[in-house]
Chain A
Amino acid sequence: MIKEKPTITWETFTEGLWRENPVFVMLLGMCPVLAVTNSAINALAMGLATTFVLLASGTLISLLRHNIPKQVRIATYIVIIATFVTIVDYTIQAISLDLYNALGAFIQLIVVNCMILGRAEAYASRNRPLKAIVNGIGMGIGFTFALLCLGVVREILGAGTLFGLDLFGPRFEPWVVMLLPPGGFLVLGAWLLLFEWMKQRKERAELEAAAETR
């Protein structure tokens, strides 16, 4: 059994933001990432909804971690996650029907977002509630940030707007493919390329710095 490390460090929080970013590094939860990021507001709403489910299910699973027999843990996690997804579903309907229609089936599909189940299995079930919450906030922000990265680029290129505000005036010819599914793949690919390039540059700089000090 993996030993619980009780200390909460800054790293517990920032892990999800950058080093283990669920989208750009771990490539988890690709279904909502590609499907609902055709506008910045959809991306933001999806990110927040996922963050809520991640946090609430992580907290509950962490609280119950000693009481869940391991043979039925996956079933238990799924029921817990599905409960919070249903809560989010009703809440979004109550906040705005337009938003609910725009997000469509993808709210319900948060249930099968592998990032959430992955965090439940790999983190929440092995750590104290507080630590799971801190890590969940980091992961949630990282996921929302990644969705926004895609949503902003796709909305600007595909519709010429940002959060519904017109940016370029009537003479701008929107790049419609960016709003369609292929646009999601193109923009995700571009972001992954950028992140990988930055990572390699950083590693090379560290190697050079190490060589100089020697």
Chain B
Amino acid sequence: MSTPEAEALPPATPAGKMIQTLVGIAMLSGFLVVLTYQLTKPIIAENQRRAIEAAVFTVIPDAVVRSDFVINDKGLTPVTGEESVEGVLIYAGYNRDGELKGIAAKAAAQGYADLIHLLYGYDPGCECIRGMKVLKLAETPGLGDKIITDANFVANFEALDARLNTDGSALANEIVTVKAGSKQNPWEIDAISGATISSKAVGKAINQSAKQLLPAIRPHLEKLKQPPVLPDQQEVADD
């Protein structure tokens, strides 16, 4: 059955017109996206560099200069720029005189809601962890996110023992999270009561990363201790 309205419908749009419109819009869209990407790329890269730098200098006290290395089975490679090397990225932090103050590395472990990503700083001088900063978490606000704000918990990472055993192949003591208030040894982390799972995740992340990374770093410590040349000069030039 056909109604008068149905007969009065305008003729169907030719397919060519539709394709023309879609192609036109897609090209315009591509142009705008590429333009924005090109304009914002250097600013975003600079933001990311600054964010990493700020985090590295938080976990390595006294550090003012950083240089990046990649560590893998073959050894230690400085990160120069474009070429990417497979391996674990570590950040070495130096003070104004070019002394190695610590090495920062990323770690992650499953928390209550999602992976907790963090950065920790290892000081080869005291063979201990001198700082920890949470980079990304999805923990419950007010409970799990206390791992960032709780002063007592953060104090665990001022001098957390991470000595290696005598032959340097593993940690002398595994880093563990213990029940709130029961910390007895320097390699233990006092949990936050009410945020045990998140606290344990932090301990687990650091332990897993440290027991692999620290024995691997050890043979290269001398190389890491060489003062960084280029960034140091820049630092002086900035003054």
The interface of chain A, by Cβ under 8 A from chain B, is 38, 64, 67-72, 75-76, 79-80, 82-84, 86-87, 90-91, 93-94, 96-97, 101, 158-159, 174, 176, 179-180
**CB of B229 within 8 A of chain A?**
no
Q: Which of B18, B47, B141 gathers most chain A CB within 10 Å? A: B141
- Give 5 nearest A-B pairs by CB, closest first: A176-B142, A83-B29, A69-B13, A94-B43, A94-B40
Cβ-defined contact, A97 with B32, below 8 A: no
What would 9 more interface pairs be, CB under 8 Å, given A38-B141, A79-B25, A159-B141? Answer: A67-B21, A69-B21, A71-B13, A72-B21, A75-B22, A76-B25, A87-B36, A91-B40, A94-B40
Q: A72: which B residues are within 8 A, CB to CB?
A: 18, 21-22
Q: B18: which A residues are within 8 A, CB to CB?
A: 69, 71-72
**CB of B223 within 8 A of chain A?**
no
Given contacts A38-B141, A76-B22, contact A83 B32 (CB under 8 A): yes
Number of residues in B with C-beta < 8 Å to the partner?
24
Q: B29: which A residues are within 8 A, CB to CB?
A: 79-80, 82-83
Cβ-defined contact, A70 with B36, below 8 A: no
Cβ-defined contact, B40 with A90, below 8 A: yes
Given contacts A69-B18, A72-B18, A94-B43, contact A80 B48 (CB under 8 A): no
Q: In the docked arrangement, what's the CA distance between A174 and B18, Å? A: 56
Give 13 A-B contacts (CB < 8 Å), ordered by A residue: A69-B21, A70-B13, A71-B13, A72-B18, A79-B25, A83-B32, A86-B36, A96-B47, A97-B44, A158-B141, A158-B142, A174-B142, A179-B141
Cβ-defined contact, A93 with B40, below 8 A: yes
Cβ-defined contact, B33 with A83, below 8 A: yes
Q: In the docked arrangement, what's the CA distance between A64 and B24, Å? A: 11
Q: B17: which A residues are within 8 A, CB to CB?
A: 69
Q: In the docked arrangement, what's the CA distance between A101 and B40, Å? A: 17
Q: B21: which A residues are within 8 A, CB to CB?
A: 67-69, 72, 76
Q: In the docked arrangement, what's the CA distance between A105 and B40, Å? A: 19
A-B contact count (CB 8 A): 67
Cβ-defined contact, B25 with A90, below 8 A: no
Cβ-defined contact, A93 with B44, below 8 A: yes
Cβ-defined contact, B142 with A97, below 8 A: no
Q: In the docked arrangement, what's the CA distance between A179 and B111, Å? A: 19
Q: In the docked arrangement, what's the CA distance between A181 and B1, Å? A: 52
Q: A38: which B residues are within 8 A, CB to CB?
A: 141
Q: In the docked arrangement, what's the CA distance between A83 and B29, Å? A: 6
How many whole Å from B63's CB to the nearest CB in chain A? 21
**CB of B26 within 8 A of chain A?**
yes
How many whole Å from B17's CB to the nearest CB in chain A? 5
Q: A101: which B residues are within 8 A, CB to CB?
A: 136
**CB of B143 within 8 A of chain A?**
yes
Q: Which of chain B's residues 11-55 have a Cβ closer than 8 Å to chain A?
A: 13, 17-18, 21-22, 25-26, 28-29, 32-33, 36-37, 40, 43-44, 47-48, 51
- B143 to chain A: closest residue by CB: A176
